[in-house]
Structure 1
Amino acid sequence: MFAIMTKQTRSRTGHWFQGYGAIPMPVDFFAHIKRTFVAVVFAIYADELLDIANELISGGDTTSGQGVVLAYLLQIAKVLIIGFRRYPILAAVYLNTVFTLCCATLYAWLDFAMIFRGLPWLYRMQQSLQVMIDIGISAIKPSGEKFNPSVKSDFPLPNFIPAYLIAIVITLAIIITQLLVMLVAIRRNLLQVFRGDDCEIPRRTSSDSIQHASGNVHFAGYFIGYLLWGYILVGIIAFIITLIMGSLIRFGSVRFVERILKRRGIIGGIVYMCRLDYATMGRKLETMDEGFSAYCGFIHMECAHRHPVMLFFLSHVLRQYLESTKKLSRAHRKWHIAVFLIANPTFVYRRKAFLEQSNMNEKRLMLIGLRNRRKIYVEQPFNKMTQHASVISQIDLNDLSQRQQF
């Protein structure tokens, strides 16, 4: 279905089906659009391929009867299966239509239903924790009663499955909201840096260029790492808080729950855990945060290479160069240089003619000093040093006179 909707970019006129019927492209790594999506896809593929490489290096999946060629063929087959499994979703997101996105949603649900086998480990973990709590309570009791599994527990734990589902929903809501807010913050910070506003992003200095370049390279890794670790940590914390709140509400300790909810700092730290643009150490210590430093490097590198004023100026110059068919005359070129130097007077001191003129002035001053020194010691007998100085001065004078003639 996706191939029928995709049109060939280089199709001949009069081709069958008017050029439709091409294989859709899953991901374009060289485009400047959907780069966050490309980074997430790259992280997923890198993780799965790393697992395959670790299995191949450790030799965990290979049996004694398999040869080296068969082991490599099996690993190649796994890589192809990963590609075929992810290809429909990637192609649907790249086409970005309502029909393709609906098909990708159904495909993702079916894929998740095939790999989802319930959560039996939650029930086993709940039973193990309940046994441990009952043993601890029986040990603390002064009567010294022995632990009996058939007796009902004095402190029954709440059901883990509803708490787990609530924690997953809360985590997804927090992560998706923070991701959308961070994308908006990237656009806002880019516009601020374009106009020279450093209220959120520190101003770029020449000494930090290497650090910004390194941060720009590591930005995708930090972005994915913060997102994944934030998802895991927020999920665990939300699961624990949900269990504690369920237990306290069940046993009537609502005041403790109110105290937890009033701690805005704890809740804010949990919510902003996956944000790169939010430095948890404060403005003075924000450079110690590696994630925030990588984010600043990404913003400054984008500003240096994709500033709209610079791009417009370069496109204007390139368009003039491509459209011009005649060479500019010498007078026309000099007028352009004069107007440019009037608008930018600091470039006058960096021109080649000015530097040569300054060197000529230095030589003239040196020759004048040599002449005065020779006049002072004219009555004294010539020694080797004065003869050498006179020879040098005569050579410099000859060179200077020849340059002035030409």
Structure 2
Amino acid sequence: MAQVSMLISVLFASIVKTNGQANCSLNNPCGPHGYCRDKTGAIICECKFWWDGTLCDHQTNSGIQVIVLGCLLGALMILFYGLQIGNMIRRRRKQPKKAEKKEIPYNTKLVDLAIHNAKRSVRLSSFIIAICMMIVAAVGLVSKWTIIQPIHDEIVKKYLNNQSIYFIPNNFCDVTTYQNFNVITFPVSCFVILLFIIRSQRVSCLRDKLRGYGTPPVPIDFLSHIDRKFAAVVFAVCADELISILQEAFNGGGAKGNGVIVSYLLRLLQVIVMGFRYYPMLAAVYINSIFTLACGTIYAWLDYSMTIVNQGMCQPDFYPTYEDSLDNSTTISENLNYFGTGPSLIAIQLCTDIPRYLCLAYINVKLPMLLIKRISRRFRKNIPFEERMMKKLTREQRDFFRISNPTSVEMLYVQNLFRSIADQRPPSRSLWARLIPKKIYEWRDDFQFSARVLCVYSSIFLLLYFVAIQACVRVIPQLQFVQKLIQSILDAISIIAIASPSGDTEEAQVDTSTKIVDSLTSNFPVPELTRPYIVAVFMTLIIITTQLLVMLANIRRNLFQSFRGDDSEIPRRQRSRYISYAAGNIHFAGYFIGYLIWGFILAAVFSALICIAVDAFITFGSVRLVEKILKIIIPSLLFILFKQYLNKLLAQYVFLQHQGDVLALNNRRILMIFIYFNFFLDAFLGFISSIMRLVKSVVGGIIYMCRLDYSPLGRKLETMDGGFSAYCGFIHTECAHRHPVMLVFVSHLYTQIKLKQWEVKKRQFNDLSKDEKSPTKSNRSSRYVRKWKLLVFLVRNPTIVFFRKAFLNQLHIDEIHALNDVDSNDKKNMQQRLSIYARRMSAARGSIVSETSLNRVQNCRL
């Protein structure tokens, strides 16, 4: 404490001493390459970078060497890339001319693209839904403006009169809301769910009880393609409530007096209540009956009306109640000081609500449209027999029939498998396939993302929109205070670094005090933060959005790889990790959102630091702290780059044959000599490279934080990454349940069975089956034909015997696991499978598989 007080006294004495003497602001002889400093009545120049001299007018030897090294590096890079371009031009000239491809008969004009192709892709019902959605959203926004306007006027009046700034909610809020819990919509949603439970039929569990009725309905099938758009819109609306829950968790709302565990359970309860709020809407669309759609429509309109009233009258975003003003009394004052007392805050709030109200309007328009469509089908006359039978099927069964359609996504995938060349695949006829260049993303008609992927991405993009708006509106008015705080912290750090113990003599203390006075000009002057902060936010949005779109394309690529058994990116599926895959599949969506939030925060901080440093250079011309850092980094980087390009140039044109086209050594003697001397030289570069590796790992981890398909731990340790494990579980689960070949095969079998059943019912209905002998004879002959075909098929494909139901029923559970194991490289497993096959075949003497077939199996790789 005594030393700190002495430094402060010396500091003020030095400031008083320098007043009235030589001043750098009046006479600055140091020029653009130096800092002017006043020291004991004299002017001293502190040179920048590699400048030297009394007036910083000539460069040091280090500066000349850095310039020479930079010039050599530039010449080496020009030589290297010039040779690369020359080789590329020469190879193209030597290649034979390719035959011109036939142009696809597409409409090439932009007018034709906008009219004809869009006309084919847009239906009349979609156009009607879009118009009604805009009208309903506009009505909701205008209603909210009308409700918020009196609250805004009350707040402004209290602000102008220097009174406590808060508003008193209407008595309606006390009746309908209890601690953020709506006492009207929640009981109604529970009642609607109870009605759906009574109307839903059980499929497997206790089917004989209560005539099969009474089971919780499925809100959405995440593995299917049913009602993907509607589900994605509903999950996008949930992003707004998720933001409010996260804000309460970060602000410590409800933690006072409750404890950590109770507060955490309250957050979980809020999430469950949010799920109950949207459960009836999703279940109504999934069941798709007149009763459920009618209940869902009534509930959706009630929820929409309550949302407008509750958010406008009870919980506006920027206007605090009395309880809120106790914790954040200055926030509303800072907002009014920055944005003014006009309607700016109301306009910002309504602009934030536009995506939310568009989604709510889509829900409230789509449900009545589905209800009208269902009623029109119900009372339609002259319905074909097949369509009447289709109505008796469940939603999943109708989905199986759709897969057998030649134009379905799964069937198109199977058809493309028989095309040997990828170019033979027919181009997509979608409008998006014409608008998006193939180099960026190739739109394919034989693939669709599941409902879960669309739900996650819709929630994430709306979450990013809300976070960006809140980050700009709530933080920008406080940036001036943040700027002063950061500047004081940096100045304190500079003073502490300079005031480190350097001796107890009076001269040392005077010298230290002089350095402290110089440091008050700040080693890092902080510029005005508004401009770099806004640029940092938009830079973060661009980074996160790009990463999300790249991951979306990677999800499709990884699914295609899993469909064909390629494990180059996703580890091969193993039986011992099935439980881990199932758990990871459950965590996928939650981990994705959590990683995204932290990725946004880290990327925003990293971008803000870069933008502040660049803005400081633009504003002040030079920053001493950044200059010192660059003075250390630049020589090392130049030397590393020079060595790397030199190695590349020697490797391609000296040490490899055919200029690197063949991995075969050339000039072996010179290579060995070069490696001998380079062996010890790279030890110094390795030390610098290790530091760069650490820096790259940190930067890469920040940028790729939201990417679950990428593990920063590397291929050897990627299974230790929880996010990547969840992604692998999601991919393997999707592959196991949504494999197109499997779905087409199952759909074909199921469709044929149902068609035969319907044919029998149709004959009974039309009294066409009068002769009972002919169908018996035809059935008997067809049964013999099927058995003969089965015999021929099993003789030609004896390994299919492993997977026949009659064969598997004779095996032990361990033997079934051995046959089911996909690892074909395990020799022990192969021997076990062969022994099982030989033992069972020898026991079944009447088997259709001969000894010749057995020998054929033993010689092949399983």
TM interval, short-chain normalised: 0.5 to 0.7
Q: Is 1:278 matched up with 2:747?
A: no
Residue 119 (structure 1) aligned to one of 459, 463, 476: 476
> Are the counterparts in 2 of residues 138 and 145 from structure 1 also a CA contact under 8 Å?
no
Deviation at 1:36, TM superposition (A): 7.0
Alignment of 1:253-264 (within 5 A): 253=627, 255=631
Alignment of 1:304-343 (within 5 A): 304-324=736-756, 325=759, 328-329=779-780, 330-339=783-792, 341-342=794-795
**Equivalent residue, structure 2, for 1:100:** none
Deviation at 1:288, TM superposition (A): 0.5
Residue 191 (structure 1) aligned to one of 554, 557, 560: 560
**Equivalent residue, structure 2, for 1:366:** none
> Are the counterparts in 2 of residues 167 and 239 from structure 1 also a CA contact under 8 Å?
yes
Structure 1 Cα separation of the partners of residues 559 and 233 of structure 2: 19
Bigger shift: residues 122-131 or 215-224: 122-131
> Are the counterparts in 2 of residues 29 and 38 from structure 1 also a CA contact under 8 Å?
no
> Are the counterparts in 2 of residues 6 and 24 from structure 1 also a CA contact under 8 Å?
no
> Are the counterparts in 2 of residues 39 and 220 from structure 1 also a CA contact under 8 Å?
no
Structure 2 Cα separation of the partners of residues 318 and 89 of structure 1: 40
Structure 2 Cα separation of the partners of residues 288 and 299 of structure 1: 17
Deviation at 1:244, TM superposition (A): 3.5
- Which segments of 5 or more consecutive residues in structure 1 lack a partner in the other structure? 9-16, 61-75, 98-104, 363-406
Q: Name the aligned partner's letter for residue 288 of structure 1.
A: M
Deviation at 1:238, TM superposition (A): 1.3
Structure 1 Cα separation of the partners of residues 132 and 240 of structure 2: 29
Q: C-alpha offsets along residues 334-388 of structure 1, whole Å, 9 cap, x if unaligned? A: 23543553455345466648959979969xxxxxxxxxxxxxxxxxxxxxxxxxx
Bigger shift: residues 287-296 or 250-259: 250-259
Structure 2 Cα separation of the partners of residues 361 and 268 of structure 1: 61
Structure 1 Cα separation of the partners of residues 124 and 257 of structure 2: 42
**Equivalent residue, structure 1, for 2:148:** none
Structure 1 Cα separation of the partners of residues 610 and 799 of structure 2: 63
Structure 1 Cα separation of the partners of residues 589 and 558 of structure 2: 17
Deviation at 1:117, TM superposition (A): 5.6
**Equivalent residue, structure 2, for 1:392:** none
Deviation at 1:167, TM superposition (A): 1.1
**Equivalent residue, structure 1, for 2:724:** 292
Structure 1 Cα separation of the partners of residues 615 and 253 of structure 2: 42
Q: Residue 334 and residue 57 in structure 1: after superposition, are their counterparts in 2 closer, same or farther (change >3 A)?
A: farther
**Equivalent residue, structure 2, for 1:128:** 485
Q: Residue 224 and residue 24 in structure 1: after superposition, are their counterparts in 2 closer, same or farther (change >3 A)?
A: farther
Q: Is 1:48 matched up with 2:244?
A: yes
Structure 2 Cα separation of the partners of residues 360 and 251 of structure 1: 86
> Are the counterparts in 1 of residues 237 and 356 from structure 2 also a CA contact under 8 Å?
no
Cα RMSD, aligned residues only: 5.1
> Are the counterparts in 1 of residues 559 and 735 from structure 2 also a CA contact under 8 Å?
yes
Deviation at 1:208, TM superposition (A): 1.3
Residue 172 (structure 1) aligned to one of 522, 527, 541: 541
Structure 2 Cα separation of the partners of residues 21 and 45 of structure 1: 25
Structure 1 Cα separation of the partners of residues 483 and 728 of structure 2: 44
TM score, norm. by length of structure 1: 0.61
Of all paired residues, the percent bearing the same amino acid is: 39
Structure 2 Cα separation of the partners of residues 284 and 322 of structure 1: 49
Structure 1 Cα separation of the partners of residues 489 and 841 of structure 2: 88
Count of residues paired in the alignment: 322
Q: Residue 58 and residue 82 in structure 1: after superposition, are their counterparts in 2 closer, same or farther (change >3 A)?
A: farther
Q: Name the aligned partner's letter for residue 566 of structure 2.
A: D
Deviation at 1:289, TM superposition (A): 0.6
Deviation at 1:300, TM superposition (A): 0.9
Q: Partner of 2:602: helix, strand, or coil? A: helix
Deviation at 1:273, TM superposition (A): 2.2
Deviation at 1:265, TM superposition (A): 2.1
Q: Name the aligned partner's letter for residue 552 of structure 2.
A: L
Q: Is 1:225 matched up with 2:594?
A: yes
**Equivalent residue, structure 2, for 1:265:** 696
Deviation at 1:170, TM superposition (A): 1.2
**Equivalent residue, structure 2, for 1:237:** 606
Structure 1 Cα separation of the partners of residues 308 and 796 of structure 2: 59
**Equivalent residue, structure 1, for 2:798:** 345
Q: Name the aligned partner's letter for residue 244 of structure 2.
A: E
Structure 1 Cα separation of the partners of residues 492 and 843 of structure 2: 96
Q: Is 1:250 matched up with 2:622?
A: yes
Q: Partner of 1:236: helix, strand, or coil? A: helix
Deviation at 1:322, TM superposition (A): 1.8
Deviation at 1:316, TM superposition (A): 1.0
Q: Residue 91 and residue 120 in structure 1: after superposition, are their counterparts in 2 closer, same or farther (change >3 A)?
A: closer
**Equivalent residue, structure 2, for 1:89:** 358
> Are the counterparts in 1 of residues 584 and 730 from structure 2 also a CA contact under 8 Å?
yes
**Equivalent residue, structure 1, for 2:583:** 214
Q: C-alpha offsets along residues 263-322 of structure 1, whole Å, 9 cap, x if unaligned? A: 582543332222111111111111001101111111111111111111111111122112
> Are the counterparts in 1 of residues 233 and 359 from structure 2 also a CA contact under 8 Å?
no
Q: C-alpha offsets along residues 213-242 of structure 1, whole Å, 9 cap, x if unaligned? A: 111111101111111111111001111233
Q: Is 1:200 matched up with 2:577?
A: no
Structure 1 Cα separation of the partners of residues 609 and 543 of structure 2: 16
Structure 2 Cα separation of the partners of residues 50 and 138 of structure 1: 39
Structure 2 Cα separation of the partners of residues 39 and 79 of structure 1: 19
Q: Residue 341 and residue 24 in structure 1: after superposition, are their counterparts in 2 closer, same or farther (change >3 A)?
A: farther
> Are the counterparts in 1 of residues 234 and 359 from structure 2 also a CA contact under 8 Å?
no
Deviation at 1:46, TM superposition (A): 3.9
> Are the counterparts in 1 of residues 532 and 611 from structure 2 also a CA contact under 8 Å?
yes
Q: Residue 191 and residue 36 in structure 1: after superposition, are their counterparts in 2 closer, same or farther (change >3 A)?
A: farther
Q: Name the aligned partner's letter for residue 791 of structure 2.
A: A
Structure 2 Cα separation of the partners of residues 207 and 82 of structure 1: 50
Structure 1 Cα separation of the partners of residues 708 and 475 of structure 2: 34
Structure 1 Cα separation of the partners of residues 248 and 710 of structure 2: 35
**Equivalent residue, structure 2, for 1:399:** none
Structure 2 Cα separation of the partners of residues 79 and 56 of structure 1: 25
Deviation at 1:132, TM superposition (A): 3.5
Structure 2 Cα separation of the partners of residues 163 and 132 of structure 1: 19
Q: Name the aligned partner's letter for residue 479 of structure 2.
A: L
Q: C-alpha offsets along residues 81-113 of structure 1, whole Å, 9 cap, x if unaligned? A: 46995652325788999xxxxxxx9xx89x959
> Are the counterparts in 2 of residues 182 and 277 from structure 1 also a CA contact under 8 Å?
yes
> Are the counterparts in 2 of residues 215 and 293 from structure 1 also a CA contact under 8 Å?
yes
Q: Partner of 1:282: helix, strand, or coil? A: coil
Q: Residue 225 and residue 6 in structure 1: after superposition, are their counterparts in 2 closer, same or farther (change >3 A)?
A: farther
Q: Residue 136 and residue 338 in structure 1: after superposition, are their counterparts in 2 closer, same or farther (change >3 A)?
A: closer
Q: Partner of 1:273: helix, strand, or coil? A: coil
